[in-house]
Amino acid sequence: MWPKIVDWKELAFGVEIEFVGGDPAQLACLPGWVMSLEEKQLDETGRASGSELKTPSIRWDDRQQIQTMLSRLKEQGASANWSCGLHVHVGLELWGESILLPMMDAALSCQEAMRSLLRTSAHRLIFCPPVTQEIRERFIANRCEEALLRPGRPQSQRCGINLASWFYFGTVEIRYANGTLCFKEIVNTIELCLRFVAAVGAGHKLTCDPDGLAQPLGAPAEGYPPPLPVPRWYEERVWLEELLIPILLPLIAEKVPGGEIHHLLPVPDGLLIAVEMPDSKMCKYVVCPPATGWDRLRRMNG
């Protein structure tokens, strides 16, 4: 039940570490660790690369496991670039569902302070939009996972302080950190997230001042993954998507019911549209713009 005082070091947590390069399929993982080979990132040339490495549910005293796995990644030549993020899941089972509304209130109060402290790169904000009062009201009316998701593109449906993960994993997922393979930066981020959840769980009122968030929590004031510059070609790709997605939405709604546009890419014979389906599977289609409008669609394999 909430509130309840819990030592932050006793909270269970998991980390999702995105990276580029290396040979993820051949990486030897510690027991319980998972390599999500389908979760590719973009390297400097735009090629899908790397993967996402996930810890099992561990506690603070187990954090040396992370150092071991980071060393193995680096030995393969893996690295973290601008396309990577770092997500921390913190277990809420010691409070149960009673902590969800207090956690939403904490997010509404200090999510911008959290984002500022973690120096979230501007181009990564699509992956961690803010919790809103509308989400809170929707959840009060209908206590389910769907009420905690935002409308929009698939990568922007889970908030920076993502409480929808409670219904999958019994956790809150904090998604603001930039990507890194630096052990110190990762454990600083984990410590901040654990202390934040413990403070909310204890019923403490948190500040909305980014300069004053870390100190009352006892968390590091700095030493988090830094923002990295985005290649010009990626900025231009994002601009193109923002222009074309509103135009293509009616076509996708007609031809692929239930699908949502994830991203666009130019290909030799048209424009590739990656569509995420309700079951989270990704389908790819190519559209060609004839003089009469966007009305041709063919499925791509692979």
- Backbone torsion region of residue 223, taken as left when φ is above 0, otherwise alpha when ψ lies between -120 and 50, otherwise beta: left
Q: In angstroms, rounded to a whole number, what is the distance separating the alpha carbons of residues 197 and 8?
A: 8
- Mean pLDDT calculated for residue range 80-95: 98
- pLDDT higher than threshold 70 for residue 298: no
- pLDDT higher than threshold 80 for residue 295: no
Q: What is the DSSP letter of 222?
A: S
Bridge partners of 49? 41
Residue 114 and residue 176 in contact, taking contact as beta carbons nearer than 8 Å: yes
Tokens 């630096």, residue located? 182
- CA–chain centroid gap for 296, Å, is 33
**pLDDT confidence bin for 209, thresholds 50/70/90:** confident
Q: In angstroms, rounded to a whole number, what is the distance separating the alpha carbons of residues 213 and 113?
A: 7
3-state class (DSSP) for residue 168:
helix
- CA–chain centroid gap for 97, Å, is 22
pLDDT for position 302: 59
Residue 219 and residue 191 in contact, taking contact as beta carbons nearer than 8 Å: yes
Output the CA torsion sign for 273, 279, 281, 283. Answer: negative
3-state class (DSSP) for residue 275:
strand
- 134-186 pLDDT tens trace: 999 999 999 999 999 998 899 999 999 999 999 999 999 999 999 999 999 99
- 227-286 pLDDT tens trace: 999 999 999 999 989 999 998 998 889 888 989 999 998 888 888 999 999 888 889 998
Contacts of 14 (CB under 8 A, 6+ apart): 54, 55, 56, 57, 58, 88, 89, 169, 171
In terms of Cβ atoms closer than 10 Å to its own Cβ (0-12, 13-18, 19+), residue 74 is middle
pLDDT for position 164: 97
pLDDT for position 293: 65
User: What value does the mean pLDDT of the chain take?
Assistant: 93
Q: In angstroms, rounded to a whole number, what is the distance separating the alpha carbons of residues 239 and 103?
A: 34
